[in-house]
A and B are shown apart, each in its own frame.
Chain A
């Protein structure tokens, strides 16, 4: 209890925490506030409540096109990066092999590479190979980018997986494939879904790679960047941004809930060790 006592002593702590949280979330809070403001300029005092900026989005075909592009890219990227990460996570958690740590490090490295450098190198390669810029090249780039995130989620999900569950299944007469379908997959399913959601969210918000590799088909972040040149468009961009933030929060929260549920389940299975 001495730690708690020490915390109580500091009168500055509540102020520090408030400042901390304000720094983190105040800018983002401004977005939804101004998106409901009945004025074209983003200045205080607020001019009154409106939903017209949201309504205007539905008539905006260019925006809807960009949203569709983002959806296609997001879904494809999440499936591809999760698929690749499943293989890698299984190898890393299940087997001991030479260069295991090095391999894991290399898989995680894109997390720490400057994104703009990755984007420029990918662009150079794509142009060298004479491939036309399209959603496909964005998908390629973002898959590389999302892989470490998917891998992080999946390694933590697979880590507690008890090898003897698969052996028990084989022992009870099931085939290797049946074992994967009836035991392995259901047990790790929450981790996989969580990885899909995380990858999708990252792809949805990703700008630099999409900007460099998207050609004539913009994704939502690229579209928003384009709109910022026109001051009059700003309120509807804010409305769009608010929707994207809400969506991201929902997706990431669901992913975290699923990840925790998977962890709990694996722990419950392993708790039999006594």
Chain B
């Protein structure tokens, strides 16, 4: 993160009656950072975004933007602009007028206003459609209008509320790259709300994963994927095999555990970890289990029986029953070597790297 935070969220809570939409959230977002709020629907991510924009007022706590408390400022006085989930393109105005909407308040001279609108449309590659009306635009084009309309105001922070959820898969993936490129070009802070873990992983500098109005973990995409702190985070980001292990040793940063089939391993102790009954939850990602073919050997192996198989084009998911484990293992294997041809019922050997095992707080 950059030296000075652009957004400081300080012990923010939002109650609706007894329902806690946000529960004591504290978070710093750096200047120039692409930051994602990720979580299932109802986790509070949209409430938090709308609180930053000024459309929702927290019950308690403070929000500072660029060092100034914004909690008492209405949305039109905040140095933030928002791209709405449905884009909210003004239906009675054309593309150009939509983009110029906010500039009208600034009373720029006509040439300057035209230049800024032109630049913004150029930036989102819409200059050729400047006279179109909202109903003549496709979903992707509407989104670009919404982006240009917000960016033309030169905000310190751009807020994006699930901006890609209405687009089809291919366009969504294109826009992910484009948004990321745009953010690097303009250099301002982007805060993105999404429920799509791949979107968050692909676009963000850092991700905050939220559940039930609380932040479960804040980290870079790689860190959050490889070292999820809790079982919930691990499960929400890509799925994981969980198993119980007996703790045999504990230091300040490490745990030594004994598992039923993965032997004795030492894993990093997650923050906030508390052992219950000398037991810990250990996890391994499905793609960190590798199928061993024929006579291939590995330092660490488990053996089991294939009980189910799901084909996904480039990969196959195998469900492997390993005697001694409480649940079958989920294995994700590329189809380069014929994993899609492994018959159900076949015995199978799986290799793993002990470093791929992580300990999880509950």
Contact = CB atoms under 8 A, between A and B. Distances in A.
A267 to B, nearest CB: 8
A165 interface: yes
B316 interface: no
A170 B166 contact: no
Contacts of B101: 169, 172, 174, 182
Contacts of A187: 90-92
A170 B74 contact: yes
B84 interface: yes
Interface in B69-110: 74-76, 80-82, 84-92, 101-102, 105-106
A271 B85 CA distance: 12
Given A167-B75, A172-B153, A268 B134 contact: yes
A174 B105 contact: yes
Interface residues of B, number: 32
A265 B87 CA distance: 15
A165 B89 CA distance: 7
B90 A165 contact: yes
A271 B135 contact: yes
Contacts of B91: 165, 187, 265-266, 268-269
Interface in A152-191: 162, 164-165, 167-175, 178, 182-183, 186-187
A272 B76 contact: no
A99 interface: no
A162 B91 CA distance: 10
Contacts of A174: 76, 101-102, 105
Contacts of B89: 269, 272
B166 A175 contact: no
A173 B134 contact: no
B87 A272 contact: yes
A270 interface: yes
Contacts of A273: 86, 166
A174 B101 CA distance: 9
Contacts of B149: 168, 172
Contact of B81 (A162, A172, A178, A183): A172
B142 A272 contact: yes
B280 interface: no
A168 B135 contact: no
Given A167-B75, A187-B92, A266-B91, A173 B135 contact: no
A162 B106 CA distance: 25
Interface residues of A, number: 27
Choose among B74, B80, B133, B135 the residue with the greatest number of A CB atoms under 10 Å from its CB: B135
A178 B88 contact: no
Contacts of B135: 264-265, 268-269, 271
B153 A162 contact: no
B87 A171 contact: no
Which one of B81, B88, B89, B153 has the highest number of Cβ atoms from chain A below 10 Å of its Cβ?
A: B88
Contact of B86 (A169, A170, A266, A270): A270
A274 interface: yes
A193 to B, nearest CB: 14
B55 interface: yes
B325 interface: no
Given A174-B76, A187-B91, 19 more contacts: A162-B86, A162-B88, A164-B86, A167-B75, A167-B84, A170-B55, A170-B75, A171-B82, A171-B150, A172-B150, A173-B105, A178-B105, A182-B101, A187-B92, A265-B91, A268-B135, A269-B89, A269-B134, A272-B86
Interface of B: 53, 55, 74-76, 80-82, 84-92, 101-102, 105-106, 133-135, 139, 142, 149-150, 153, 165-167
10 contacts: A165-B90, A167-B84, A170-B74, A171-B53, A171-B75, A171-B76, A173-B102, A264-B135, A272-B142, A272-B166
